[in-house]
Amino acid sequence: MAIYNEYGKLKQVILGISPRLYPSFDLPKTMLDGLDYLTILQYKILSIIFKNRPLFSRPTNLIIEELEAFNKVLKEKNIIVHRLEPILPFENEPPGLIQMYARDPVFIIGKKVIVANMAIKMRMKEDRGYDPILKYLDTNEFEVIKMPKGDNIILEGGDIIVDHPYVYVGYGTYISTLDGANWLQNILKDEFEVIPILIKDRSIMHLDCCMTIIGKNKGIIHRDSLAVLPQNFNNFDFIEIDSTPRKQLGANVFVIDPETIVVQQRHVKLINDLKIRGYKVYPLSFSFNARIGGAFRCTTCPMDRE
């Protein structure tokens, strides 16, 4: 068991959940500023009405339905799917949870399991939902490493893209930091080279909201979101998306194996571009999850790929 890239045949994965206790919407202003007016208004209204209590059941059920449709596809491909343990906030913790996005609190590079130091205080408790899975990984010869708690050394899984011998780390927004990338290089030593990528649009939460790698020298990218790209991307065949699918998290796809990929069904042009390149595409509805800030890659934490 190990993770050395984003596109090898998937064998085991963690998939997020959506418990009834829902986010308190205590999100950074820089993220809200990057959203459209109606979405910002929605967040403001919800933050007042639902600050200390769950959302109505219908929006939660719609998100659960999308997650379970995705889960069905994964199981049809004979992938072992692990689910997070539902948790509740302790009395001294901020209210709200976002347990849909399993990628961020814990991520795996090689045989190292990194328990993240997260940027949004509301999310810092989410790693408790991984406790049974961490014990399972520990018995399978993984090394579990907890990041130090500090304001400068911050990393979340959505900013981490693995493509051995490289690990790309997004930074420059309100989440992961350059100090976090430097810390990661010290942990990985000579096994990987950590390459930071500056995200110049500060409203973007994570690197995988505007770029991901889908195969050997293949990827999806919104170039305007990023500053100077690494030189080793010069040989990549990137599918380029514009600002609308970027904001709808079109780049946030999930690769099941080198020929198979899960994409939001509303991104027709991206689906056609992938089919032209020989991919088998599973188009799924995922717009309700995407409204909260994440799509297929965000909801998954791969544990084992070929």
DSSP string covering 64-115: HHHHHHHHHHHHHTT-EEEEPPP----TTS-S---TT-TTTTEEEEBTEEEE
How does strand 211-215 pair with strand 300-305? unpaired
CA 269 to chain centre: 22
Do residues 249 and 295 touch, judged by C-beta distance below 8 A? yes
Using DSSP's 3-state secondary structure scheme, residue 117 falls into: coil
Question: What is the model's pLDDT at position 95?
Answer: 74
Question: What is the model's pLDDT at position 219?
Answer: 98
CA dihedral 73, 74, 79, 84 (to 10 degrees): -140
Question: What is the model's pLDDT at position 97?
Answer: 77
Model confidence pLDDT, tens digit, residues 119-171 = 988 889 999 999 999 999 998 889 999 999 877 999 999 999 999 999 999 99
Query: What value does the CA radius of gyration of the chain take, rounded to a whole number of Å?
Result: 18
Distances (CA, A) of 78 to 9, 72, 81: 11, 10, 9
Which residues of the chain fall short of a pLDDT of 50? 21
Question: What is the model's pLDDT at position 52?
Answer: 59
DSSP string covering 170-239: EESSSS--HHHHHHHHHHHTTS-EEEEEEB--TT---GGGTEEEEETTEEEE-GGGBSSPPGGGGG-EEE
Question: What is the model's pLDDT at position 236?
Answer: 97
Distances (CA, A) of 99 to 60, 89, 93, 295: 12, 12, 15, 13
Cis link prior to 54 (omega < 30° from 0)?
no
Question: What is the model's pLDDT at position 37?
Answer: 65
- Domain spanning 10-297: which superfamily? L-arginine/glycine Amidinotransferase; Chain A (3.75.10.10)
Beta bridge pairs of residue 97: none
- Residue extents of the structural domains in the chain: 10-297
Question: What is the model's pLDDT at position 245?
Answer: 95
Question: What is the model's pLDDT at position 20?
Answer: 57
Q: Which two tokens stand for residue 186?
A: 């010290």
